[in-house]
Amino acid sequence: MDVLYFAWVRERIGQPRDVVETQATTVAELVEELKAREERYEAAFADLSALRVALDHELADFDAPLAGVREVAFFPPMTGG
């Protein structure tokens, strides 16, 4: 599964993407696996209320299932203007 990071999430992790093999069944479980990797992931995912997630280009919640998902993207909320 491809995991993409945008904006300050990418800056904290230090790279734009990871390819992961996961046992997680939800986005929240995936986040916990990523946080356990290294301190930089822990910092990036410290406040989930400051993050949004998309599964295969569709906005989703952190309790969304990962079955069949090929791409997960994490990014801060966007504003228009």
Mean pLDDT along residues 47-59? 96
pTM: 0.93
- The predicted-structure confidence for 25-40, as pLDDT tens digits, reads as follows 999 999 999 999 999 9
By CB atoms closer than 10 A (0-12, 13-18, 19+), residue 18 is: middle
Q: How many CA atoms lie within 13 A of 64 on its CB side?
A: 16
pLDDT at 56: 98
Give the integer Cα–Cα distance in Å for 56 and 40.
24
Within 10 A of 26 (CB to CB), how many other CB atoms are there? 16
Give the integer Cα–Cα distance in Å for 51 and 61.
10
- The predicted-structure confidence for 1-27, as pLDDT tens digits, reads as follows 999 999 999 999 999 999 999 999 999
